[in-house]
Structure 1
């Protein structure tokens, strides 16, 4: 289990105060481009142990009375039914999810803006749906030569052609279902309209990573590169900040590359650019809340290795190429790390070698590593999970928490009625059987009560787990890696 390295309460206080200060620098109106995940930021919680996954939302709730949320979605993404890889839902559906999530936290969602609108039928249907649901929806249009044709962009035929989004609060958070949705363009378009109306509004950007006041090769920043390796993001020293202040700070290539253009746009809109560097534009204070650098470095190195295993498995299933794996290997070299830092890897491999079948391992909060093997009743993910719960509850491994007589009827239903060719029980089925046993078996109840203790534990499998098993591990908060091997040599594998 990770040692605490991040002061979450300090972060909430410092971050909200810094955003208030940034609002006051302008005409009490700030458009804040929000990058990364607002909800369930598990990457941040893994590399900054102590960071709560909902910290960003809690921070916004500190500013609740001043905040208004605008959600941007690209018309082309609606037309193409673009899907969020982590959630498996389309961007347009995710907009509905985000609205519900914000409202559930007591935050105002003022409107939705469809960017790059050029008459796409699916975008029209989405707009009608939003309006029927009572959500104000605005249209922003493509601009020829964007982002370099400044005379056209900053004119009534460029940003001026976009519909002005009516907002009523000092802080307007612009977010989106995913990258490429046009958040920055929405912010700058709004600035153009505000200045035309005599309101000297401001723009800022909120990105947790890379952390600007950590070294370029710090494992936390390298973990960010590992997480975004498929996007081609590269951390780099901010040359503009170094030139302006003589201070070394870290940013990433896309923000550095676009800064001269962005600076020119802001100068054309506002009369002068208020920032001398991409780092100036940011408001992230996470780096000032690290209280144990060794702890966050260790956690970040683990994350890099986990990302490496993910890339290996993605390559095996055909969703990634060699280049991604090579990039992760290079990041591992920069972080001076290899897979041996995960004790679960060697432990699972040893059991697999001894039995000749797939195996798994889980490292418990006290450092103990528990393993599981393939049996006629259970797959390795199920047996490993059950053994981990026994160990956490202090139950001797020889005790059976679920009787064979209880498991065999489930197998019969799977094979003879549900058409499964694999009679072994998945981890979710084992947990259901354990919950049923807990009604009559006190030891099963004790084991079941340990489920929450699995959150944050490391896990490894010697084969690629099924989506059912990997999904169960994920929901339990286990940090799973898998060897890029299938359980069988078949060409077709169910997803």
Structure 2
């Protein structure tokens, strides 16, 4: 039943990427490797490159575990503003601790956490105190006046010299963060400055995933990256420095291209010369060589572009995104020649809504068959669809009740009479708890519960904006959900 098409060879990618990183270590002696994108849980990559495992990067690093240490950086501003990691729904500071714990559980050496872009934020002070209480080595880097243009100020005792020198002991130092804008590159360059002061030869490289430098500019995989970073105003572009140096067309993104002349000057100021001729040279990215079915990746990327459009449209409705961001998503849809109607779950959900005259949810299994759910007295449409797909996977008739009303009604009573909820219908987390309770006495409920791992990778759509609880639960189950940008009420 679960026959997802594969377009990407993870094993080949791991071999190529680790081999390229070893070359960089050999070139410099000691390497600061900035990790672009997510080290753990790269769900975007797994969606646009079917076959890419969400922790592929980690598997690759495990081959270098004995010579690698990891620094986690987090921006003081992200701590101050309680910035949320959208795919997991947790703050950046909590994710920094989660990252550290998860990496150490896999046997990696995490040497420290660095608070970057510090200007006296009180929340950052509290986080530093918390880290120190936990016995975690903590360092601070500061905002530099005139950064990044004022090179003499940056490469001075009042620039990088003012930053803490992060003590490292291994030849490969991986610098990662909960999300973009955390100050990874600035931390790497600051370390190069301090290492040079200490008489240590060190170099820098950037572990890249997107954009894929050796795919065309308007390839759906690269356009899907633009859609994913629409809030950052990232734009893919041809790398003019690489074209000039080698006569070859490669793809990078605007921020790296714009900052390259500055980086060139910083490298010259620290190392005496710049080791790279282009932003593409700086990156280590073998993704393009591991694509084994281009059409599969193209279609997966088109679907991701549609998902990103709906996500942005809902965020605009919630007041969490600007209309300009939505305009950019609409432009990407045109560039990718994408038809919104090609997301089949949208049409199925809208049809169910029309039939039932109420909010509806559709879930498409990995083999392409569709299951829907409607709003009822006991269940919201999302919970209904979730139960229906679990029944489907378990081979249970949809008319069979795997959770009795006697189990559901006490939960409804608790919600409305004691917890102040006006909505008696069960959310997806509550229906899963009820299903778990029923599994002790009902064999069908137990059989349905055992299908949960098979939900990973499925597509879903709701005809109304779902609650944060439902969105979070579906993400944890690995279901890619979109919503029509309207509220139920």
Question: Which category describes the TM-score, using the shorter chain as reference length?
Answer: over 0.9
User: Are the counterparts in 1 of residues 453 and 477 from structure 2 also a CA contact under 8 Å?
Assistant: yes
Mean Cα deviation higher: 244-253 or 145-154: 145-154
Q: How far did 1:80 drift?
A: 4.2
- 1:158-215: per-residue Cα shift (whole Å, max 9, x none)? 2233232221101111122332222111111211222233322111111211111111
Q: How far did 1:355 drift?
A: 1.4
**Counterpart in 2 of 1:25?**
27
Distance 1:398 1:203, change over 3 A: same
- Does residue 408 of structure 1 match 2:409? yes
User: Are the counterparts in 1 of residues 74 and 92 from structure 2 also a CA contact under 8 Å?
Assistant: yes
Question: What is the rounded CA distance, in whole Å, between the counterparts of 2:333 and 2:467 in structure 1?
Answer: 27
Mean Cα deviation higher: 281-290 or 115-124: 115-124
- Does residue 72 of structure 1 match 2:73? yes
Distance 1:422 1:257, change over 3 A: same
**Counterpart in 1 of 2:359?**
358
User: Are the counterparts in 1 of residues 359 and 374 from structure 2 also a CA contact under 8 Å?
Assistant: yes
Distance 1:74 1:375, change over 3 A: closer
Distance 1:420 1:76, change over 3 A: closer
**Counterpart in 1 of 2:297?**
296
1:41-120 equivalences in 2 (<5 Å): 41-120=42-121
User: Are the counterparts in 2 of residues 174 and 187 from structure 1 also a CA contact under 8 Å?
Assistant: yes
Counterpart secondary structure, 2:400 = coil
**Counterpart in 1 of 2:386?**
385
Question: What is the rounded CA distance, in whole Å, between the counterparts of 2:81 and 2:310 in structure 1?
Answer: 30
User: Are the counterparts in 2 of residues 387 and 397 from structure 1 also a CA contact under 8 Å?
Assistant: yes
Question: What is the rounded CA distance, in whole Å, between the counterparts of 2:51 and 2:229 in structure 1?
Answer: 22
Question: What is the rounded CA distance, in whole Å, between the counterparts of 2:81 and 2:440 in structure 1?
Answer: 49
Counterpart secondary structure, 2:284 = coil
Distance 1:79 1:350, change over 3 A: closer
Question: What is the rounded CA distance, in whole Å, between the counterparts of 1:61 and 1:215 in structure 2?
Answer: 31
Question: What is the rounded CA distance, in whole Å, between the counterparts of 2:368 and 2:120 in structure 1?
Answer: 58
User: Are the counterparts in 1 of residues 87 and 475 from structure 2 also a CA contact under 8 Å?
Assistant: no
Distance 1:311 1:118, change over 3 A: closer
1:41-440 equivalences in 2 (<5 Å): 41-440=42-441
**Counterpart in 1 of 2:454?**
453
Question: What is the rounded CA distance, in whole Å, between the counterparts of 1:470 and 1:164 in structure 2?
Answer: 41
User: Are the counterparts in 2 of residues 2 and 299 from structure 1 also a CA contact under 8 Å?
Assistant: no
Name structure 2 gaps, 5 residues minimum: none
Q: How far did 1:103 drift?
A: 1.2
Mean Cα deviation higher: 389-398 or 130-139: 130-139
User: Are the counterparts in 2 of residues 115 and 139 from structure 1 also a CA contact under 8 Å?
Assistant: yes
Q: 1:15 aligns with which of 17, 27, 32?
A: 17
Distance 1:403 1:85, change over 3 A: closer
Mean Cα deviation higher: 186-195 or 438-447: 438-447
**Counterpart in 2 of 1:486?**
487
Distance 1:430 1:80, change over 3 A: closer
User: Are the counterparts in 2 of residues 69 and 175 from structure 1 also a CA contact under 8 Å?
Assistant: yes
Question: What is the rounded CA distance, in whole Å, between the counterparts of 2:351 and 2:118 in structure 1?
Answer: 56
Counterpart secondary structure, 2:118 = coil
User: Are the counterparts in 2 of residues 34 and 206 from structure 1 also a CA contact under 8 Å?
Assistant: yes
TM-score (ref. length: structure 2):
0.95
Counterpart secondary structure, 1:400 = coil
Counterpart secondary structure, 1:274 = coil
Mean Cα deviation higher: 442-451 or 469-478: 442-451
Distance 1:334 1:199, change over 3 A: same
Distance 1:374 1:256, change over 3 A: same
Distance 1:79 1:332, change over 3 A: closer
Question: What is the rounded CA distance, in whole Å, between the counterparts of 2:418 and 2:142 in structure 1?
Answer: 54
User: Are the counterparts in 2 of residues 2 and 295 from structure 1 also a CA contact under 8 Å?
Assistant: no
Question: What is the rounded CA distance, in whole Å, between the counterparts of 1:317 and 1:289 in structure 2?
Answer: 39
Question: What is the rounded CA distance, in whole Å, between the counterparts of 2:404 and 2:179 in structure 1?
Answer: 47
User: Are the counterparts in 1 of residues 89 and 472 from structure 2 also a CA contact under 8 Å?
Assistant: no
Name structure 1 gaps, 5 residues minimum: 489-495
Distance 1:467 1:142, change over 3 A: closer
Counterpart secondary structure, 2:249 = coil
Question: What is the rounded CA distance, in whole Å, between the counterparts of 1:407 and 1:131 in structure 2?
Answer: 46
Counterpart secondary structure, 1:134 = coil
Question: What is the rounded CA distance, in whole Å, between the counterparts of 1:415 and 1:131 in structure 2?
Answer: 43
